[in-house]
Every structure is written in C-alpha cells, then in structure tokens.
C-alpha cells in the first residue's frame, strides 16, 4: 500500500495564525535592528581588506619615488577603510544591548495597547 499523500501547504497554513505571523515579523525586525550596524562595520572591514590586498599589497623592495607615493596613497585609503570599519563594527556591538532594551520596551508598549 502506498502512504497517503499529505498536502503540506494546507497543513502548514492550518497551523499558522495571525499572532504567529505577527510575532515572527516582530522578531525579524528586532533581528535586523540588532545586526545592521555591526553588519555594516564588518562589510566596511571586508571592503578595506580586499582593497588593501588588491591595491596596496606588499611594498616594493626598492621602489622609485612614484611607486612609493602610489603605495602610500593606497595604504592610507586601506588604513582609513579598515579603521572606520573597525569603529563602526565595535560601536554596533556596544549598541546591541541598548537596541535590545529599546525594542523590548517598544514591544511591551505595543502589547499593552
């Protein structure tokens, strides 16, 4: 005998309610708010690192003045990107508890209404 087929879509939709969907949306918004700033910081760090590897790279062993100037320029851009990315990432990590507290407070006010 073949097992009876189950319509998964109907089964899943029957288990979902408006309250479940609303709480999932709140959790997703909360997750996005928490991850946004550290995520941007990590992205800037990644871009800075890739820029440093591709453009600054390893300095020439005996560069001409033009090569040295070009290396110093690209290294300064890499350094700025890396520093800004690190500051944004750390600021985002330090802001996580504050964001969680603010979103918790907003959830409590929304549930009270």
Cβ–Cβ under 8 Å, residues 88 and 41: yes
Two tokens, residue 75: 């290294």
Model-level pTM? 0.67
In tens digits, what is the pLDDT along the chain, a chain of 113 residues? 455 555 554 454 555 444 554 566 677 777 788 888 899 999 999 999 999 999 988 888 999 999 999 999 999 999 999 999 999 999 999 988 888 888 776 666 655 55
Indicate the Cα dihedral angle 7, 8, 13, 14, nearest 10°: 70
Indicate the Cα dihedral angle 95, 42, 85, 80, nearest 10°: 180
CA distances from 31 to 4, 12, 45, 65, 112 (A): 39, 24, 21, 50, 22
Domain ranges of the chain: 8-112
């Amino acid at each position: 005998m073949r097992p009876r087929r189950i319509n998964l879509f109907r089964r899943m939709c029957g288990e979902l309610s408006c309250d479940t969907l609303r709480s999932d949306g709140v959790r997703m918004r909360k997750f996005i708010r928490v991850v946004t700033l550290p995520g941007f910081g990590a992205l800037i760090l990644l871009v800075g690192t890739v820029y440093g590897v591709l453009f600054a790279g390893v300095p020439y062993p005996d560069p001409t003045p033009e090569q040295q100037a070009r290396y110093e320029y690209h290294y300064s851009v890499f350094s700025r990107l890396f520093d800004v990315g690190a500051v944004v990432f750390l600021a985002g990590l330090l802001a996580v508890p504050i964001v969680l507290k603010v979103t918790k407070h907003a959830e409590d006010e929304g549930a009270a209404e």
